[in-house]
């Protein structure tokens, strides 16, 4: 066993590396940075100006908390993923998605909002929470169709960021050539973070779309929000093109171009269908 890449770094130095890696990545890949900053702008617009925040009604209070929770979690997801800690980023992304899924459940229901807020103090409410809110099995009906891609992304984030699976560590250790020695690194290599960063950006876009869809009647200055969404759509498309250029080394196949331009995510749709089939068999 070897630890060459771990030697000599203090915790202060590790924090400095997060800052350095984040800046280097976003300075180099401006398409990703612009899309991320627009997601940040829209979240702040919704939380600070557009969604009325108060303690009543209870469902709207809970919804406001969930929007903020999703925002906070998404920020951490993007920062950590760009910095090379994409497993930690995906862990936070999973939570960001959970908040927006829960938001779909508490909409105009003070009873469900109360279940969410006090479940840890009440065994009965905890059981009710599980039967109503658990992901993915409670989101397969047509009412939650707009969450399909996020449900699929939640599952990916669970496997590659949350659980103690081999895949979480696969890109953090390398066997030395012609040796049994293994070298560990805390941060992933650049080539291994493009895909997770793209996943975080797409998730942020879909999270905002889901919030806008569910709380449309509770969002003020909706015209301004719609204009920001149009700009974000263009930026997400440019980020997808950049990722495809990296993934295919400069030559993007025609079918990939078509999928990007039409906002088609067939892979996520297929994964959602497989989850639905899996859980229907377990019922």
- Sorted by where each begins, the domain ranges of the chain are 4-281
**Residue with tokens 């925002």, as numbered in its chain:** 71
Higher pLDDT, 50 or 20: 20
pLDDT in tens, 68-80: 999 999 999 999 9
CA distance 25 to 151: 28
Residues in a beta bridge with 219: 51
Residue 1 has what pLDDT? 40
pLDDT in tens, 213-269: 999 888 888 889 999 999 999 999 999 999 999 988 888 888 888 888 888 888 899
Tokens coding 255: 């079918």
- In angstroms, what CA-CA distances link 91 with 48, 65, 87, 88? 26, 19, 6, 5
Q: What are phi and psi of 125, to 5 degrees?
A: -65, -35
Of 6-10, 54-58, 97-101, highest mean pLDDT: 97-101
Question: Can you give the length of the chain in residues?
Answer: 283
Residue 2 has what pLDDT? 44
Which of the four pLDDT bands, split at 50, 70 and 90, describes residue 32? very high
Residue 3 has what pLDDT? 47
Tokens coding 86: 């994409």
Residue 7 has what pLDDT? 59
């Amino acid at each position: 066993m070897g630890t060459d890449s771990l030697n000599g770094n203090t915790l202060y130095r590790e924090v400095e590396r997060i800052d350095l890696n984040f800046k280097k990545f976003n300075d180099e890949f401006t398409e990703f940075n612009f899309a991320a900053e627009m997601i940040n702008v829209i979240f702040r617009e919704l939380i600070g100006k557009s969604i009325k925040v108060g303690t009543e009604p209870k469902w709207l209070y809970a919804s406001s908390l969930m929007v903020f929770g999703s925002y906070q979690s998404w920020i951490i997801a993007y920062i950590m993923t760009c910095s090379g800690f994409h497993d930690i980023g995906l862990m936070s992304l999973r939570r960001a998605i959970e908040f927006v899924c829960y938001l779909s459940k508490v909409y105009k229901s003070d009873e469900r909002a109360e279940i969410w807020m006090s479940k840890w103090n009440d065994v009965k409410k905890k059981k009710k929470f599980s039967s109503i809110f658990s992901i993915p099995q409670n989101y397969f009906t047509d009412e939650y169709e707009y969450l399909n891609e996020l449900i699929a992304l939640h599952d990916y984030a669970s496997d590659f960021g949350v659980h103690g699976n081999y895949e979480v560590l696969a890109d953090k250790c390398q066997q030395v050539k012609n040796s049994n020695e293994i070298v560990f690194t805390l941060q992933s290599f650049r080539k291994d973070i493009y895909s997770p960063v793209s996943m975080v950006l797409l998730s942020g876009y879909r999270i905002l779309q889901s919030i806008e869809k569910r709380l449309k009647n509770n969002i003020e200055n909706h015209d301004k929000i719609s204009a920001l969404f149009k700009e974000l759509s263009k930026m997400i498309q440019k980020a997808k093109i950049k990722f495809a250029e990296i993934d295919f080394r400069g030559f993007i196949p025609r079918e990939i171009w078509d999928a990007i331009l039409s906002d088609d995510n067939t892979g996520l749709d297929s994964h959602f269908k497989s989850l639905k089939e899996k859980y229907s068999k377990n019922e």
